[in-house]
């Protein structure tokens, strides 16, 4: 009853083409934003901002980036974390070396730097596909952090190779409280997510999907393969780059390029698989799932062990985490290849028909 679009008539093209054509969706998105902007800052404690909400948003942005590449354009990449590293280091150097450059501009330019590097490593995609390409992106994952560490200039010749991000200041206002950092990240991520949602239904997005579904056929109907694949790499790396800059400035505060390693790339891939391949919403769901799951498991296992009077060997939870992660990936691939986002869609369909079963 609540979720029914009957009676909503579109009388203009603009109304028909808006981002969320159903009124309930618009209300839901606005409500969600209102919660994120008003309720969360009022209610959440520092722990939630520092350890859960900010990383969730940062990784969601990276997952959107990978989802654009893998979910929409069909090019598997195992190098997302490396592009994040490019973004983080680029933002640091822009802030350091260009005096007076506004912070948001350096974030955007950091994304552009990552996009350039992404295109460079995307070039092999013109000749190879599938897991050959996945292995090729591993080259980026191993080469880029090495380069960022070896060339002292990138870290301003810090002896240990660790970069410490400058304070985040916009128009003289310093964002240093957890809640302020959260709001800044939220704004950037929300805007970029809307942009992504808009992009994937545009001509560019549709050509990505055509290439994903069958590149030869796409070529035959006149879609320029080279440009399509490379824009996918560029846009995807841009998102990862901005995510990397946020990771450095809003989340951890320091960057060791070797931290943004293959493991993180895998986690971002898992967010996409579990959240939903080819879905912006799914990127958020997946990021939430992967960020929360380890914490829940640790807390839950300890609580359970306490309940039954068991003495867990220290470290057990981390191994159980690996087991559960691995198991879930397989489970999702078998049972629900489109991830959590698909579950949401199914729920929506059901709501539409409710209370009638069919």
Partner 1 sequence: MNTSKHAIIGLLLAAIALFAPTAQAQQAGTQFIGITGYRVGPYGANGAAFFSGFIDYLHLVNERDGGINGIRLSWEECETEYNNTKGVECYERLKTRAAAGPTAIHPMSTGITYALIDRAPADKIPLITLGYGRTDSVDGRVFPWLFPLLSNYWDAATGIVKFIAMREGGEAKLAKKKIVLLYHDSAYGKEPHPVLEAESKKLGFELRMIPVPHPGNEQQSQWLQIRQYRPDWVIVWGWGVMTATSLSTAQKMGFPRDRMVGNWWAGSEIDTEAAGDAAAGYYAASLNLAGRDFPVVREIQKHVLDKGKSQTPAKTVGSVLWNRGMAAAMMTVEAVRTGQGKFGKKPLTGEQVRWGIENLNVDAARLNQLGFGAMVPPIKVSCADHGGSGLVRFQQWDGKQWKAVSDWMSGDRALVRKMVEDSAAKYAAEKGIKPACLSS
Partner 2 sequence: MQFFFEVLIGGLLSGVMYSLVALGFVLIYKASGVFNFAQGAMVFIAALAYVTLAERFGLPFWAAFGLALAAMVLIGILTERVVLRPLVNQPQISLFMATIGLAFFLEGLAQLVQLWAFEDLSPRPLRLGIQDAPIERLMSDFNVLVSSFDLFAAAVAAVLVAALALFFNKTRIGRALRAVADDHQAALSVGIPLKYIWAIVWSVAGFVALVAGLMWGARSGVQFALTLVALKALPVLILGGFESIAGAIVGGLIIGASEKLAEVYLGPYVGGGIEGWFAYVMALLFLLVRPEGLFGEKHIDRV
Q: Which residues bind partner 1 (CB under 8 A)?
A: 45-47, 50-52, 55, 146, 149, 159-162, 164, 251-254, 256, 258-259, 263, 292-296, 298-300, 303, 311, 313-315, 317-319, 331, 335-336, 340, 343, 346
Structure-token match 């000749």, residue found: 127
**Shortest reach from residue 66's CB to partner 1, in Å:** 17
Check: CB of residue 241 under 8 Å from CB of residue 111.
yes
Structure-token match 């997946």, residue found: 286
Q: Which of the choices partner 2, partner 1, none does residue 60 contact, using the CB cut-off of 5 to 8 A by kind?
A: none
**Shortest reach from residue 336's CB to partner 2, in Å:** 12
**Which CB sits closer to partner 1, 131 or 354?**
354
**Which CB sits closer to partner 2, 41 or 124?**
124
DSSP designation for 163: E
**Shortest reach from residue 261's CB to partner 2, in Å:** 11
Q: Can you tell me the distance from the alpha carbon of 179 to that of 46, in angstroms, rounded to the nearest whole number?
A: 7
DSSP designation for 356: S
Q: Which of the choices partner 1, partner 2, none does residue 138 contact, using the CB cut-off of 5 to 8 A by kind?
A: partner 2
**Shortest reach from residue 79's CB to partner 1, in Å:** 17
Check: CB of residue 340 under 8 Å from CB of residue 289.
yes
Angle between helices 103-122 and 130-150 (to 10 degrees): 130
Q: Which of the choices partner 1, partner 2, none does residue 327 contact, using the CB cut-off of 5 to 8 A by kind?
A: partner 2
**Which CB sits closer to partner 1, 133 or 288?**
288
The helix/strand/coil state of 173 is strand
Which residues are CB-contacts of 259 (< 8 A; sequence separation ≥ 6)?
252
Q: Which of the choices partner 1, partner 2, none does residue 159 contact, using the CB cut-off of 5 to 8 A by kind?
A: partner 1
Structure tokens at 255: 């960057």
Residues engaged in binding partner 2 (CB under 8 A): 76, 123-124, 127-128, 130-132, 134-136, 138-139, 142-143, 146, 150, 214, 216-217, 220, 262, 266, 269, 273, 313, 315-316, 319-330, 333-334, 337
Nearest to 243 by CA among 111, 90, 121, 89: 111
Nearest to 122 by CA among 56, 81, 159, 69: 69
Which residues are CB-contacts of 348 (< 8 A; sequence separation ≥ 6)?
3
Q: Which of the choices partner 1, partner 2, none does residue 320 contact, using the CB cut-off of 5 to 8 A by kind?
A: partner 2
Q: Which of the choices partner 1, partner 2, none does residue 127 contact, using the CB cut-off of 5 to 8 A by kind?
A: partner 2
């Amino acid at each position: 009853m609540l979720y029914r679009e009957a009676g909503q008539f579109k009388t203009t093209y603009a109304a028909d083409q808006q981002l969320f054509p159903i009124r309930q969706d618009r209300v839901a998105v606005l409500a969600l934003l209102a919660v994120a902007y008003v309720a969360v800052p009022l209610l959440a404690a520092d722990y939630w901002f520092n350890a859960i909400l900010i990383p969730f948003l940062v990784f969601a942005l990276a997952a959107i980036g990978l989802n654009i590449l893998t979910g929409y354009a069909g090019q598997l990449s195992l190098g997302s974390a490396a592009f994040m590293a490019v973004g983080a280091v680029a933002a640091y150097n822009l802030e350091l070396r260009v005096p007076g450059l506004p912070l948001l501009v350096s974030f955007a330019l950091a994304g552009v730097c990552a996009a350039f590097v992404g295109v460079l490593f995307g070039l092999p995609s013109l000749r190879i596909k599938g897991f050959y390409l996945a292995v090729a992106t591993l080259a980026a994952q191993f080469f880029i952090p090495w380069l960022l560490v070896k060339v002292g200039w990138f870290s301003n010749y810090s002896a240990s190779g660790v970069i410490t991000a400058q304070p985040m200041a916009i128009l003289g206002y310093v964002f240093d409280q957890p809640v302020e950092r959260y709001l800044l990240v939220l704004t950037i991520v929300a805007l970029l997510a809307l942009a992504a949602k808009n992009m994937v239904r545009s001509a560019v997005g549709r050509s990505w999907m055509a290439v994903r579904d069958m590149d030869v056929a796409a070529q035959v109907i006149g879609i320029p393969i080279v440009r399509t694949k490379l824009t996918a790499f560029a846009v995807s790396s841009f998102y990862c780059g901005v995510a990397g800059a946020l990771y450095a400035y809003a989340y951890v505060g320091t960057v060791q390029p070797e931290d943004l390693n293959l493991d993180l790339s895998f986690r971002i891939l898992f967010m996409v698989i579990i959240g939903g391949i080819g879905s912006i919403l799914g990127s958020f769901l997946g990021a939430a799932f992967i960020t929360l799951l380890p914490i829940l498991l640790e807390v839950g296992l300890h609580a359970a062990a306490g309940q039954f009077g068991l003495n867990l060997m220290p470290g057990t939870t981390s191994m159980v985490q690996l087991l559960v992660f691995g198991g879930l990936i397989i489970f999702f691939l078998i049972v629900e290849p489109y991830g959590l986002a698909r579950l949401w869609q199914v729920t929506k369909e059901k709501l539409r028909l409710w209370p009638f079963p069919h």
